[in-house]
Amino acid sequence: MSAPTIAALAASLAAGRTTSVALTEQALARIDSHARTGGTAFMEVDAAGALAAARAADQARAAGLVASPLAGLPISVKDLFDVRGQVTRAGSKALDGAAPAQADAPAVARLRAAGAVLLGRTNMSEFAFSGLGLNPHYGTPRTPFDADRIAGGSTSGGAVSVAEDMAVAALGTDTGGSIRIPSAFCGLTGFKPTARRVPLAGAVPLSTSLDSAGPLARSVACCAAMDAVLSGETLDTRPAELAGMRFYVTRDFVCDGLDAAVAQAFEDTLSRLSERGARIVPFDFPELRRLPEINGGGGLTAAEAWAWHRQLLAEQGERYDQRVAQRIRRGQQQSAADYIDLLAQRRAMQHRAGERLRDADAWLMPTVAVRPPRLDALARDEDFFALNGLVLRNPSVINFLDGCAVTLPVAQGIGLGVCALHGQDARVLQVAGAIERSLM
């Protein structure tokens, strides 16, 4: 039986069939069992704080005060965000000596104000700079269905926390797929909103141009409930009518080199949607093939990461994951002119996307080109970097275009990317909800 959704758990709490304390105790027991069997989803668990919040949520409910659908529900937080009284390490040893945060990051504060029970900090790729989720310092989370395969990154621990029923939903970030990749690999739904809809103050940045924050959860409705709290916006996210929708599909770039299983799952999904009345509209977007050249010097991510990390690398560089440090240092080689050119090329690509996708209800693509890789396939640097680039390729297109996207599970370890352009968050959630309902 599938794990209950936010709506189902909220209904159980409202009916008195369970309590927040009971749900939190169950979550903490699962976290403990996960850790005792070698699991590495969490870096830090705040059991006392979580139980205190759960008791407060139950007392508030008894008094008729229910702040949101998240009230009393256990939520995990990526180690990128400040939580009052806790050290934000961003998955690194380089920040071990940092002082505890004096205040919650705004996204965390919004979850707390909504009555969510914050369980603890989840593991991640160091400084969020990888789509694979490897962490040499704190361990590498694995998929729930195969312990030899990686959970994906960078929100690796957050995905595992939800997939293994340790949390109802997770707060993550997405710079080039860091919500959608682990969601796809772990059989979850993930939502990357338009950047800047969810505040990123109080979170360690990777790329200020590309970073966004959002949820990993069990369903589109769960992601919408999380987004309403995180963004402070109430969108109309009710599933739309699937029949007659126009789903654009390009074979350029995002369908290059797909795993056979991914290609088959994608084609099967398109066929099912077509059978249910959707229109699959082929289109060309050959300019996407220029992205490797445009980002050949490390792109916006390396340039902006270098600006933040340069002093810390000088002082603590030996404590970094050297694969991460190597990628960040590429930003040192970029000139101001290179950076300005990158911004101009991004604007031009966004303009072209707007023209090509003007009449689309959504742009569909495989979330990730491959199934979750085996950990033992990533021992050599050349294999790690090649697979990291391939895993990041499809989802990072949407970050470069400043768009929004949902990933839906369509096969074990395989996701369908439901994508749209800047500011179309409500529509992409409506469409993803329609697709989700049609695939059940």
Q: Which residues of 361-375 are buried (b: 16+ CB within 10 A; e: fewer)?
A: bbbbbbbbbbbbbeb
User: Whole-angstrom Cα distance, residue 351 to residue 33?
Assistant: 50
Tell which CATH classification among 3.60.15.10, 1.10.3720.10, 2.60.40.10, 3.90.1300.10 matches the domain 6-231: 3.90.1300.10
Kind plus residue range of the DSSP H or E element containing 412: none
DSSP 147-177: EEEE--SSSHHHHHHHHTTS-SEEEEEESSS
User: Whole-angstrom Cα distance, residue 367 to residue 76?
Assistant: 23
Segments of the chain assigned to CATH 3.90.1300.10: 6-231, 246-293+344-439
DSSP 274-323: HHTTPEEEE---GGGGGHHHHTTT-HHHHHHHHHHHHHHHHHHGGGS-HH
Residues designated catalytic: 78, 154, 178
DSSP-derived secondary structure letter, 399? H
What class is the 246-293+344-439 domain?
alpha beta
Kind plus residue range of the DSSP H or E element containing 21: helix 20-36
User: Whole-angstrom Cα distance, residue 218 to residue 163?
Assistant: 8
Per-residue HEC secondary structure of 218-241 comes to CCHHHHHHHHHHHHCCCCCCCCCC
pTM over cut 0.85: yes
422, 402 Cβ separation under 8 angstroms: yes
State the amino acid at position 169 in one-letter form. Answer: A
DSSP 332-375: GG--HHHHHHHHHHHHHHHHHHHHHTTT-SEEEEESSSSPPPBG
Predicted confidence at residue 1, as pLDDT, reads: 44
Cβ-proximal residues to 38 (8 Å cutoff; 6+ apart), any chain: none
User: Whole-angstrom Cα distance, residue 178 to residue 369?
Assistant: 15
User: Whole-angstrom Cα distance, residue 369 to residue 381?
Assistant: 20
Residue 352's alpha-carbon distances to 23, 123, 151, 177, 398, in angstroms, are 48, 37, 34, 21, 13
Predicted confidence at residue 3, as pLDDT, reads: 84
Of the candidates 27, 103, 31, 104, the one whose C-alpha atom is nearest the C-alpha of residue 72 is: 27
What digits encode the pLDDT tens for the residues 270-285?
999 999 999 999 999 9
Structure tokens at 276: 């249910």
pLDDT in tens, the chain (440 residues): 478 999 999 999 999 999 999 999 999 999 999 999 999 999 999 999 999 999 999 999 999 999 999 999 999 999 999 999 999 999 999 999 899 999 999 999 999 999 999 999 999 999 999 999 999 999 999 999 999 999 999 999 999 999 999 999 999 999 999 999 999 999 999 999 999 999 999 999 999 999 999 999 999 999 999 999 999 999 999 999 999 999 999 998 999 999 999 999 999 999 999 999 999 999 999 999 999 999 999 999 999 999 999 999 999 999 999 999 999 999 999 999 999 999 999 999 999 999 999 999 999 999 999 999 999 999 999 999 999 999 999 999 999 999 999 999 999 999 999 999 999 999 999 999 999 999 98
Structure tokens at 354: 């707007």
For the chain, percent of residues with pLDDT exceeding 70: 100
Cβ-proximal residues to 224 (8 Å cutoff; 6+ apart), any chain: 191, 235, 237, 429, 433
